[in-house]
Homo-oligomer: A and B are copies of this chain.
Amino acid sequence: MSAESSAFSELRGHLHRTRLLRSISNTLSYDQQTAMPPAGSDWRGEQLALLAEQLHQRQSSEGYGDLLAAAESELAEQAGASPDLGRTLLLLRREYERQRAQDPALVVRIAEARVRGSSIWQEARRRNSFRLFAPALTTLIELRREQARQLASAEPGANGCWEILAQPFEPDVRAPRLEQLFTPLLDQLPALLERARSRAAETAAPALPADLQERLCRDLLRGWGYDPSRCSRALSAHPFSSTLGPADFRITTRIVPDQPMASLLATAHEWGHSLYEQGLPHSDEQDAPWPLGQATSMGVHESQALFWECRVARSEAFARRWHRPLVEGLGADPWESPGGLWRSLNPLHPGLIRVESGELGYCLHIVLRFELERALLEQDLPVEELPERWNRRSSELLGITPPSDAQGCLQDIHWAEGLFGYFPSYALGHLISAQLSEAMEAELGAGTEALIERGEDARILSWLRHHVHPLGRRVNGEQLVQQVSGRPLEATAFLRHLSGKLERLLSSDR
């Protein structure tokens, strides 16, 4: 994007200001999750709605459309222009058409309903009352369906409400392709889960004091390039990662006394998200406001988070390294050995709660949500029947029936924030992470276990920084996997990883 013409330079100015506004909105959301008292939520909703209105106005204005058209004509007249320019304008044009297609009043109503929905959901989950939440969910579904109707003309490739709403998270995703990717999981995971049941009952993890958990998280990050001049950390009910500026990266974790490893694993996960953001070309001033500098899909984003959580923090080598500081910090060894710590980092039985589920059951949690959100959006499943349907499918897919809605269909915040179409990205993240791991191992001649064992964590990061992070949005999620691994995305590597790890864990038990 060097030697910019005037059309591109004006476009850059416009996008820069859009990015400033969006980051203001993200900062308010960050504060909402980490610091805002509950009674602040109505006002916060009004603030976010105002910003959503401004953002929509900027991104759909005729003036912006003219800027875009001028850049497009200029590009058409250039011979031998970089393909990056073409891709840049294509992505901007797609987003512009999406924004143009939406009624501004609807944009504001959705922003307000999201804040209200998440506030009511917190109360409903606390009181285990799906009835309290149902009206807000109904409103969100209606608003998002209306949005999908408006967006249909701007998404000619997407088929139906669900696919249209999923585009921002997973560009170019199609529901049948997801079903194709998930079929091997549905075929093979039940057998792996059955085999895991042969494992002795999982012992409850020992409680770790909050300050020890906090110290471990800090030490973990110190070894993985955490730079306090550019990053900061906080506690929140739901761990997340957020980029608030070109040099302002935040991650959060939660400290739960009876889930001693949750804070450490969440920190590894969110730090993986943040490392991807920090490695994207948008941190480079040159690419700053252009879409090619951004994350390409939430599936790829999740793959980076899962890489650090599952490949690194849940590895046997990592457990060996961390056993001693944990035992010293606690003044006791409730795991009895590094192997015991490793086993406690890798529960095999599928949990009731998605975020606490081990790797074996996790994707079945996603299939459940993928099915149900399509049923709600496209098959007229009545909202009041959601708990019953959830519990039935949970029993069928995972072999467990939630004893309460708080531990069932009220467990996730996503739908309360109007996020439909997001969940499959988590499963894609597992698949992508596994396939990228194998590609890394093939190239370096050593997998994550061996590299961590040798203390060569830096080579892992370096490989990701070289092969994955800099691609930005030059390719979509599936193209990224094809380019880096030389093969189309499939579930094979992930299933190979799971069955290998399962056997190692089962023999470590003995």
- Residues of A near any B CB (own CB < 8 A): 17, 20-21, 23-24, 27-28, 30-31, 34-40, 42-44, 46-47, 50-51, 228-232, 234, 244-250
Contact = CB atoms under 8 A, between A and B. Distances in A.
Contacts of A249: 37
Given A30-B31, A34-B35, A247 B23 contact: no
Contacts of A247: 37, 39-40, 42-43
Contact of A38 (B50, B229, B246): B229
A47 B246 CA distance: 12
B28 A24 contact: yes
B246 A43 contact: yes
Given A20-B50, A34-B35, 6 more contacts: A21-B50, A35-B250, A37-B247, A42-B245, A43-B246, A43-B247
A245 B40 contact: yes
Given A28-B24, A247-B40, A232 B47 contact: no
Given A28-B24, A35-B35, A17 B248 contact: no
A36 B230 CA distance: 8
Contacts of A44: 245, 248
A213 to B, nearest CB: 15
Contacts of A24: 24, 28, 47, 50-51
A21 B248 CA distance: 22
Nearest to A249: B37
Given A27-B31, A34-B35, A35-B34, A244 B20 contact: no
Contact of A229 (B39, B46, B229): B39
Contacts of A232: 35-37
A47 B18 CA distance: 11
A470 to B, nearest CB: 21
A30 to B, nearest CB: 7
Contacts of A46: 20
Can you list the 6 inter-chain pairs with the closest CB atoms, starting with the nearest? A43-B245, A40-B248, A39-B247, A39-B230, A37-B232, A40-B245
26 contacts: A20-B43, A20-B47, A20-B50, A24-B51, A27-B27, A27-B28, A27-B47, A30-B31, A31-B35, A34-B35, A35-B35, A35-B232, A35-B250, A37-B229, A37-B232, A37-B247, A39-B229, A39-B230, A39-B248, A40-B230, A40-B244, A40-B245, A40-B248, A43-B244, A43-B247, A44-B245
A62 to B, nearest CB: 20
